[in-house]
Structure 1
Amino acid sequence: MKAISRRQALAYLGAAGASVALSGVAFAGPAEVAARINDIAGGAAGDDALILLDLPEIAENGNAVKVAFDIDSPMTADNYVKAVHILADGNPEPDVATFNFSPAMGACYASTRMRLSKTQNVHVIASFSDGSFGSASATVKVTIGGCGG
């Protein structure tokens, strides 16, 4: 086995570092988010009138973008929201958060903060106990990215 010199080792490390730096980060796109929505809803169309989505039009800093939703549901044993999924199509991973609900909660609303890497669409998908789905989307313009952007 031939030993390598210190100079060769540094050259190899530099080349490896450059390849990692230049490769960039892959971001989820509309196709990946559409596939994820299809996984959640099984291809069923969502009713957007049920979800009140509160998102800023412009986020000065993508590190902490507030998202809130309120869903019109009676939250009874026969008719309630089972889960709400938040997806972002410009982040490295489209799944932002999932909230699970039960009829005992009495209402279906929540808020959280999320990181957005760049200007992108945010989608909220709600699954109901009867097998139906609701959806809402909005675009958030990010001036300073929160995921290295």
Structure 2
Amino acid sequence: MNMQRREALKAGGGLGLFGLLAAAGLITPSQARAEWNKSAFDAKTIEETLKALGATGAQSSTDIQITAPDIAENGAVVPVGVVSALAGVEVIALLIEKNPNPLAASFTLPAGTEASVQTRVKMGQTSDVIAVVKVGGKFIMTKKEIKVTLGGCGG
């Protein structure tokens, strides 16, 4: 390995990709900082979470599908995916109804991005998983019950 490359990797190792881009002047520091909705992630109920997301009054839709196992053997790592057939999806959020903090993940999608996300979530017990999608300034949602046989949130 080239010694200059090694030194550059050591120097930039703690910055991360966005830090390196900001340091190089390719993006501004505000673009490098992740924007997140602290009140939504700190909410303790589904209603509080929906309110913090601005999604009160979200309607159910079959245009959103949740891909997840019907039974999760280990609640500590439950694979969950959300796919939407709708065009112009701006945000996809995953809520776990019976978790201490329902909002498990929130994804902001750039324009033109396929509305499909995959992640792994922790589930303390059998619960509904709710996918909330923002499209055209409106919120729609769907839900799926996942049975958990071994808890992942302190269970």
* Aligned equivalent of 1:52, options 61, 65, 89: 65
Alpha-carbon deviations, 1:71-104, whole Å to 9, x = none?
A: 0123xxxxx1111110111112111000111223
TM-score of the two chains, using structure 1 as the length reference: 0.69
Tell me which residue corresponds to 1:35. Answer: 48
Range with greater deviation from structure 2 (88-97 or 44-53): 44-53
Query: What are structure 2's unaligned runs of at least 5 residues?
Result: 1-43
Letter in 2 for 1:141: K
The 3-state SS of whatever aligns with 1:73 is: coil
* Aligned equivalent of 1:123, options 123, 130, 133: 130
Deviation at 1:133, TM superposition (A): 1.4
Mapped to 2, the partners of 1:119 and 1:44 lie a distance apart of 25
Distance 1:134 1:42, change over 3 A: closer
Q: How does 1:12-23 map to 2 (within 5 A)?
A: none
Tell me which residue corresponds to 2:76. Answer: 63
Tell me which residue corresponds to 1:14. Answer: none
Q: Using the aligned pairs only, state the percent identity.
A: 28
Tell me which residue corresponds to 2:120. Answer: 113
Tell me which residue corresponds to 1:22. Answer: none
Tell me which residue corresponds to 1:15. Answer: none
Structure 1 or 2, whichever has the larger Rg, is 1
Letter in 2 for 1:127: K
TM-score of the two chains, using structure 2 as the length reference: 0.67
Q: How many residues align?
A: 112
Tell me which residue corresponds to 2:100. Answer: 92
Tell me which residue corresponds to 2:86. Answer: 73
Select the structure with the greater relative contact order (CA < 8 A; seq sep ≥ 6).
1
